[in-house]
Structure formats: structure tokens, C-alpha cells
Amino acid sequence: ERQREAVVEALENVTARLDEEKSHLTDLDSAIGDADHGANMTRGFRKANEKVQDMDEADPAELVKTIGVTLVSEVGGASGPLYGGSIMSASQAFSEEGITAETSVAFAEAYLEKVQDRGGAEIGSKTMVDALTPAVHTYKKSIETDDLEPLEALAKAVDAAERGVEFTTPIRAKKGRASYLGWRSVGHQDPGATSTLYIMEELLATAQ
Ligand code: ADP
Ligand code: MG
Ligand code: MG
């Protein structure tokens, strides 16, 4: 029950943050894309928020899966299947023991793997993968090797994601719409890496 509330609260915080950042994400996407990333993300997360409100009996895995399914159907574009499909399939990590330090690492790893499988982007492609990869590796190492509490591990992962977002600015896009611009994509921060950071910041704020 506490876990259900935590998931719903995290989703509310993420949704509110994306609403706040909608025009910023749109500006980033208008520089190197088609100016819809803010609208895509807020539409998807608002709908996911509505969907989970009446899932009183659901366990964390079902809730997280529902968020993914909703994002797939509402967000569209490149980011919908990447965010939604990957959340959907990674939600299985919570199906047996709910959300623990261990299962949260399994979720993060499965999520990253799916994003990479689906999108084919690597570090340096100038996508959400640039924020996500260092974040997931940092989170896993902090928990499994350094024996940190999930909250501290998440704080370190957010720092890593932030550096990953900064790294997207000076590089040339190799995946997604921004790649059509070739060298003209240089000097612009990637929208999807940025929204990934905002989501992680809100997960951290919710856990604190
Ligand atoms: P679209 O580009 O279809 O309009 P969005 O604007 O919602 O979709 O999302 C764009 C973001 O999606 C990019 O900033 C990038 O981070 C991410 N993205 C695009 N293509 C890929 C890919 N192949 N792999 C990983 N991320 C990608
Ligand atoms: Mg776009
Ligand atoms: Mg689009």
C-alpha cells in the first residue's frame, strides 16, 4: 500500500514538473527537432496520472506497467515507444518483490537495455541514452558495489544524468530527428536527455 502511494506520488510529481518545463522542452526540440517534445511528454504523463488514480488494488508492477502502456499510446513520436515501451517491459522487475533496492537496480538496467534495443542509440548519439546510461551505471554501482542507500544512490545517479545532459550539447546527433541536421545539431541540448533528467530529479524529490 505504501509502495502504491509512492508510485502515484512520484507520477504526480513527474507530471507537474513536465507541465512546468513544457515550454522549455518545446524550445529545445524546436532547435533540433519538430517542437513537440514538451507537448508529447505532458500529454502522456497527464493521461498516465488519470489512469492510475482509480487503480486502488494495483501492485507497483501493475501501476508502472500501466504508466508505460499509457505513454506508448499517448506520447507518440520517437519518445513514446522508447519511454513507454521500455517502462512497460522493465516493470516486470517489480512483479515479485515490489520495489526494493535490488529490484530498482533490475528495473533501471532493464529500462536502459530496452531503450537501447528499440532505438539503437549509443552514448554519443545525442539522445536520452546519454543521460540514462551514466545514471543507470552509477545507480547500480552505488548500490551493489558501494553499498549506498537507494536514496543516496539515486542522488548520485541524478548528478550523472545531469553531466550526461550537458554532454549532449557539443556533440552531433546520430539518431532521431536531430540527426537529419547533421553538424547543425551541434551546440544544442537534447530534449529527450533533458526530460529524462527531469523525471529522475522528481523520483529523487519524491523519495526524499
Ligand atoms: P519526435 O522526435 O518523434 O518528435 P520527441 O520530440 O517526443 O519525438 O522526442 C525526441 C527525443 O527522443 C530526442 O531528443 C531523443 O532524446 C529521443 N530519441 C529520438 N530517437 C531516439 C533513438 N533512436 N534512441 C534513443 N532516443 C531517441
Ligand atoms: Mg519532437
Ligand atoms: Mg514529433
pLDDT digits (tens, 9 = 90+) for 102-117: 999 999 999 999 999 9
pLDDT value of position 97: 95
- CA-proximal residue: ligand 1, atom 26 (nearest): 127
Question: What does pTM read for this prediction?
Answer: 0.97
- How many Å from the N-terminal Cα to the C-terminal Cα in the chain? 18
Task: Give 147 Cα–ligand 2 centroid separation in angstroms.
Answer: 39
**Residue 53, exposed/middle/buried by CB under 10 A (0-12, 13-18, 19+)?**
exposed
Contact present, 90 and 111 (Cβ < 8 Å): yes
Q: 54 falls in which pLDDT band (50, 70, 90)?
A: confident
Nearest of 80, 168, 75 to residue 122 by alpha carbon: 168
CB 40 within 8 A of CB 79: yes
Q: Among all chains, which residue has been given the C-alpha cell 533540433?
A: 32
pLDDT category at 169 given cuts 50, 70, 90 is very high
Grid cell in block for residue 164: 550526461
Give 119-167 pLDDT, tens digit per residue.
999 999 999 999 999 999 999 999 999 999 999 999 999 999 999 999 9
Which residue among 24, 72, 128, 197 is best mutated to probe the pocket of ligand 1, counting the most ligand atoms within 8 A of its Cβ?
Answer: 128
